[in-house]
Structure formats: structure tokens, C-alpha cells
Amino acid sequence: MTTAAVIDGKAFAENLRARIAVAAAQFEVHAGRKAGLAVVLVGEDPASQVYVRSKGKQTVAAGMNSFEYKLDDNTSEGALLDVVERLNADPAVDGILVQLPLPSHIDEQKVIAAINPDKDVDGFHVVNSGRLSVGLPGFVPCTPLGCLMLLKDRLGSLSGLDAVVIGRSNIVGKPMAALLIAESCTVTVAHSRTKDLPEVVKRADIVVAAVGRAEMVKADWIKPGATVIDVGINRLPPEPGSDKGRLVGDVDYADVAKVAGAITPVPGGVGPMTIAVLLRNTLVAAHRNAGIVLDEAAL
Ligand code: GUN
């Protein structure tokens, strides 16, 4: 029985952050200022607070400015839109990220639409999804771009490969499919209504699982030697005597690793890539906003 190679996203993200730190220091010399990322958090969702703290720390560690805006749970939509407008106009701010989810009284799409697309380092604005769709430079959502970097690092050219993306969200599934099409893969997007899902997945040279269902993808769904990217982060119910359940992906790791050629673990696979790519997008935004050339492909 073979065992899949482990794709070490944690190590890849560390290397990417080191390259970003070098480029950020060069940007500061040329621009006479640091690149800056503004993160807006509304409310006190504990998971969001952890993410935002981690983003702030990693931004500063990469040699960029971090501007954090923490707003009350009951902040009105109008007040949040005012903050976004101020950040759009602020020349020290290259990237704007409004942490999702927002409280239910705020229309997320309206807030995303208010962000200047050239500061939309999350890549969530329809202008950026349109740019991705037609192959124009813009910003690509961080998690799927991180998955693509891991795939290209592992496989080199993806041209002609069969890829199956499980999940059709605006944040992962749809942009992942667009990225793989741009790499000349033959792409299938599967989802909860897909017929014979295991059969569909079994055709794939590349599987990207982003459905949010713990350990759903099994070994007998996988073509031997396929590359499997697991975007899921699911917490299992706690074992007796423990207060926290194990963190697992959408892929049954131990099972699938017997068949796949390579696989990302959870944790330590795709997860660490997201913030590293956010820093990359922010530095790219800074160069574009300042009119300074950056070899984006080398980052
Ligand atoms: N909430 C969870 N992940 C993300 C992300 O990547 N961007 C934003 N804006 N909110 C999130």
C-alpha cells in the first residue's frame, strides 16, 4: 500500500511570508512608506477575533502597517459604510478587509460592493470576480489562490489535468474553478446536488474539497496517485474525557492518504496559506497603488 506525500502548507506559507517581508522592506525604501492593511471587525464572534488578531500580528511581522477597526455588534450598516469610505480615501491603506460574517442586520454584499476594488485584497468584489473570470489582473480570494500555489508547487504545469472542485461557494469553489480553468485544467464543479459524487471525483487528477462536511471524501472516491487539497476545517464532537473535539478536514485523511499521490493535512495544509496570501495581495495592492513595479509571479 502506498502512502501519499504530505503537502506541507505550513512550511510553504512560512517561506511565502519570508519572501513577502523582503519585498515589503524594498517597497518601504521605494515608496517612502510601509504598505498598509486595514481590517474591520464588527461584533465579538470569537473565531473572527482570533483570525483578526492573527492577521494583525502577521501583517506587522511582514513589515507592513496593520490598522484595526473594532466596531460594536450594533453598528449600523450606514456607519460601517462610512468607515469603508474613509479607508477607500486613505492613501496609507492599500488593502481593506471586512471580516465576515457580519451581523445579520448588515447586508454583506452591499458592504463588499462599497470597497474600492483596487483595495479589495479579499477578492470578494464583483469587479474582481469578473476580472478573474475574463483573465484580467485583479485580486483573487486568498484561500483558492493558496490552494493553486500548493498545486503548482507540487505538480508544475496543471495543463490538461482533470480537476474536480467539491463545493460552489463564492469564496472558495467558484474562484477555485476559475483559477483551474485559467491553468488549462478540465474542471468539474460538484456540489450537494451532484449525482454519483464518488464516481465524478474518481475521474480527477486534482481534487479540491471545500464543502464543510467532516471527513466526507473517502479513499474509494480517489483515483490512485491523485493530488488532494482539503479546504475543510471541521471540529468533531469531543471524545469522552476531552473538552474539545479533533479538527478534521472534508477528506478522510488516514483513508485517502493510502490512495492519493499527495494530500494536504488538516491542520497545517491550506489553513496557514490564507493569511500568507492576504499579505501577498496587500503587498501587490501597495505596489499597484504606488505605481511601483513588482514581479508578482516571483512572490
Ligand atoms: N471570514 C473567514 N475567512 C475570511 C476571509 O478570508 N475574509 C474575510 N473577509 N472574512 C473571513
Q: What is the pLDDT of residue 2?
A: 73
Q: For each of the domains in the chain, give its residue range(s) and CATH number, in order of start.
A: 31-116 (3.40.50.10860), 142-271 (3.40.50.720)
Regarding the beta carbon of 40 and ligand 1, being less than 6 Å apart is answered: no
Ligand 1 atom at minimal distance to the Cα of residue 48:
1
Give average pLDDT by consecutive 10-residue segment, the chain, 299 residues: 92 98 98 98 95 97 98 98 98 98 97 98 98 97 98 98 98 98 98 96 98 98 98 95 94 98 98 98 98 93
Regarding the beta carbon of 233 and ligand 1, being less than 6 Å apart is answered: no
Distances (CA, A) of 218 to 46, 167, 212, 259: 32, 16, 15, 10
Nearest 5°: CA angle at 169, between 165 and 170?
A: 115
Nearest 5°: CA angle at 141, between 125 and 7?
A: 175
Q: What is the pLDDT of residue 1?
A: 65
Under 8 Å between Cβ of 88 and 98: no
pTM for the whole thing?
A: 0.97
191 phi, psi to nearest 5 deg: -160, -170
Ligand 1 atom at minimal distance to the Cα of residue 101:
1
Regarding the beta carbon of 216 and ligand 1, being less than 6 Å apart is answered: no
Ligand 1 atom at minimal distance to the Cα of residue 124:
9
66 phi, psi to nearest 5 deg: -115, 125
Residues designated as active site? 55, 99, 122
Under 8 Å between Cβ of 30 and 61: no
Sign (positive or negative) of CA dihedral 275, 281, 283, 289? negative
Q: What is the pLDDT of residue 63?
A: 98
Q: What is the pLDDT of residue 123?
A: 98
Give the DSSP letter of residue 159: T
Distance of alpha carbon 127 from alpha carbon 83, whole angstroms: 20
Looking at beta carbons, which pairs linking 120-127 to residues 24 or more positions away fall under 8 Å? Answer: 120/95, 120/96, 121/37, 121/94, 121/95, 121/96, 121/97, 121/278, 121/281, 121/282, 121/285, 122/97, 122/98, 122/278, 122/281, 123/175, 123/281, 124/170, 124/171
97 phi, psi to nearest 5 deg: -130, 120
